[in-house]
Structure 1
Amino acid sequence: MPAAHSPSPPSGSPAPSSPGRIRVGSAPDSWGVWFPDDPQQVPWQRFLDEVAEAGYAWIELGPYGYLPTDPARLRDETERRGLTVSAGTVFTSLHRGPDTWDSTWAHVAQVAELTRATGAGHLVVIPSFWRDDKTAELIESPELTAEQWRHLTTGTERLAREVRERYGLDIVVHPHADTHIDTEAHVERFLDATDSDLVNLCLDTGHYAYCGGDSVKLIETYGERIGYLHLKQVDPVVLADVLAEGTPFGPAVRRGVMCEPPRGVPALEPVLAAARKLDVDLFAIVEQDMYPCPPDRPLPIARRTRRYLRSCGA
């Protein structure tokens, strides 16, 4: 569903200047969950118990198959813990052209069906990596050709249109390290080439900083395109080493490049302040990448992070 604007005042009354509402949540990622099934990850029941215990009311689905995929069971498990789903997540390779559409849609439709059944209104779309996140082997060039950019932008618009018409969901594209939508230049090129009525962003503050971007500047410049937030920080010391050594994203996470706020960058208080000035309701989902991690590590971090975000007014 589109971000909800404040209701119009009665005729003749001055317009209120109240800021938009920020709905804070967390995600399986913050519990070290990257895959549907992995012995290094906490069981989904523990994730749901602990995310509620940490003080969050909103969650994402995470990798499809980690949480129950039966809609009735999923609703029962979330509702009895006071949790509501904000979005599902899909991975796409739309820059590879029309031949990838059928396989892409099969994956998207599966996730979108479950996302709609939860009552959520967003689908987070993450582009595919250009290198293997474990071996650093190049899968394809980090730079797209002009034709590949056309495939990416037209394919994303088609995806947005189909998802909205069939499932009533809005897509938000997630700039991500080691993908073709990463740096400020790539993000701006993507936004300038896509229809704002169809395609908006999930701004992940950590990934954008990882790739050299300024989240506050992006919000202030392209505010009408910000449809969703992921709150995350990077450790600047670890990041400097990662960039100098050309470390791929997966191993960088294992080195602790994504850190607990407020220990890293960007500062989240000005990001949230800039987002509130947009005067729209936004989800702000905490995502601290830390796969793999000890099972007792996430909950204390989640509690501290929630307290910190409250101190930032969220």
Structure 2
Amino acid sequence: MTSLPPQSSPGPSPQPTPPSSLSRIRIGSAPDSWGVWFPDDPQQVPWQRFLDEVSASGYEWIELGPYGYLPTDPAVLKEETERRGLTVSAGTVFTGLHRGPEVWESTWAHVSDIAALTQAMGAEHLVVIPAFWRDDKTGAVLEDSTLTPAQWRQLTTQTERLAHEVRERYGLSIVVHPHADTHIDSEENVTRFLDATDSSLVSLCLDTGHYAYCGGDSVKLIETYGERIGYLHLKQVDPLVLAEVRANEVPFGPAVARGVMCEPPSGVPALEPVLAAAQRLGVDLFAIVEQDMYPCPPDKPLPIAQRTRAFLRSCGA
């Protein structure tokens, strides 16, 4: 009688493939994700609480936020961040450079203080946000939403001047942030700006939420203008709220109060393809989470930040 060969025992069940490591992406967060829009506002959490909670959420990198919210004395700020395991990735400035040389002195006075603190904290980037044509808090119209050709020339030439001065004096690279309710917003205006500025001086801070808010495709922008992507802000929009905002021409500030910027991964754009496209650029990039929330209850940001950090880890970041 021929014996049957022993049956091989079944091997272990196949395990899901882990997400590929986003080894070139450095994840952080910002005061914006804690509802902080202004240096001092009674609706915002104290800066000590922001630092405690951003650290507790598992982030290691932060931005300075509005100048004057965090301590402006570098020695104090270094002590406060280092004991929480935090490092500054960038400072942020607001500019109205399309208005021409006459605003240069006031712009530089604003920029230089922030650039000095950014440099002192060991960061290498300065996020530059163009002036709002509509007030970000009240929604009041401040100027025309469309620039003239002359204003476009001033915007591009003065931005290059700013980039040169910031690099020469402070060793920082500027990254210009397309933003809703500014003149650098849609795909058309972003590409026009990039095509008109020197790539050796001016890079982009691609904010995925603002770009989607204004109808842009972040993955397409990364794949088309990859050499100009110097920094990322990770954000999503709620498509249902956005449709209502667009239909009713709601200004950005009130739109945020309605919840147009939502917790990942419930909105658009999907962040996994954005991060994968950024990784394929083969350069080190900061990807700073910014969920616009103003105003918001003080206990709301921390659990969102913790869930968002866990979600980004599941993406490999």
TM over 0.5: yes
Larger Rg: 2
The answer for the alignment partner of 2:276 in structure 1 is 273
Residue from 61, 66, 74 that aligns with 2:64: 61
Shift of 1:209: 0.1
Q: TM-score, normalised to structure 2's length?
A: 0.93
Q: Deviations 1:209-258 (Å, cap 9, x if unpaired)? A: 00000000000000000000000000000000001100000000000000
Q: SS where residue 198 of structure 2 aligns?
A: coil
Residue 159 of structure 1: aligned partner:
162
- Residue 181 of structure 2: aligned partner: 178
1:191 equivalenced with 2:191 (yes/no): no
Residue 31 of structure 1 corresponds to 34
Q: Deviations over 1:171-193 (max 9, x none)?
A: 00000000000000000000000
Equivalent in the alignment of 1:112: 115
2:283 maps to a residue whose letter is V
- TM-score normalised by structure 1 residue count: 0.93
Alignment equivalent of 1:246, drawn from 246, 249, 252: 249
Q: Secondary structure at the match of 2:62?
A: strand
CA displacement 1:58-117 (0-9 Å, x = unmatched): 000000000000000000000000000000000000000100000000000010000000
1:19–1:31 CA distance, 2 compared to 1 (3 A): closer
Distance 1:220 1:307 in 2: 27
C-alpha distance in structure 2 between counterparts of 1:136 and 1:170, whole Å: 31
* Aligned mate of 1:206, from 205, 209, 214: 209
Distance in 1 between residues matched to 2:139 and 2:122, nearest whole Å: 38
Of all paired residues, the percent bearing the same amino acid is 81
Whether the 8 Å contact between 1:20 and 1:279 is mirrored in structure 2 is: no
Determine the C-alpha separation between the residues in 2 that align with 1:71 and 1:82: 16
Match of residue 103 from structure 1: 106
| Cα offset, 1:140, TM superposition | 1.2
Aligned residues of 2:60 and 2:87 also touching (Cα < 8 A) = yes
Q: 1:53 to 1:19 in 2, by over 3 A?
A: closer
Partner residue of 2:229?
226
Q: Give, in angstroms, the shift of residue 138 of structure 1.
A: 2.0
2:10 aligned partner: none
Deviation at 1:19, TM superposition (A): 7.0
Contact 1:20 1:282 survives alignment (8 Å): no
1:132 Cα deviation from its structure 2 partner: 2.1
Matched, 1:130 2:133: yes
Between the aligned partners of 2:118 and 2:23, the Cα distance in structure 1 is 24
Is residue 211 of structure 2 the alignment partner of residue 215 of structure 1? no
Aligned mates of 2:117, 2:138 — CA distance in 1: 33
> Does the 8 Å CA contact 1:216/1:274 hold for their aligned counterparts?
yes
Q: Distance in 2 between matches of 1:137 and 1:39?
A: 22
Note closer, same or farther for the CA distance 1:19–1:61 as it changes in structure 2 (3 Å cut). Answer: closer
Distance in 1 of aligned mates of 2:135 and 2:212: 21
Cα distance in 2, alignment partners of residues 45 and 20 from structure 1: 30
2:45 paired with 1:42: yes
Q: In 1, distance between residues paired with 2:135 and 2:277?
A: 35
Do the aligned residues in 1 keep the contact of 2:178 with 2:207 (CA within 8 Å)? yes
For the 8 Å contact 1:19–1:279, the answer to whether it is kept is no
Q: Which amino acid aligns with 2:91?
A: G
1:311 and 1:158 mapped to 2: Cα distance?
41
* Structure 1 residues not aligned, in runs of 5+: 1-17
Letter in 2 for 1:177: A
- Of 136, 140, 147 in structure 1, the residue corresponding to residue 143 of structure 2 is 140
The yes-or-no answer on 1:70 pairing with 2:73 is: yes
Q: What residue identity is the alignment partner of 1:308? A: F
Q: Tell me the SS of whatever aligns to 2:144.
A: coil
Structure 2 alignment gaps of length 5 or more: 1-20
- For 1:136 and 1:146, how far apart are their aligned partners in 2? 25
Instruction: Tell me how many residue pairs correspond in the alignment.
Output: 297
User: What is residue 305 of structure 1 aligned with on the other side?
Assistant: 308
The aligned counterpart of 1:4 is: none
Instruction: Tell me, in whole angstroms, the C-alpha distance in 2 between the residues paired with 1:256 and 1:136.
Output: 16
Tell me, in whole angstroms, the C-alpha distance in 2 between the residues paired with 1:138 and 1:34: 19
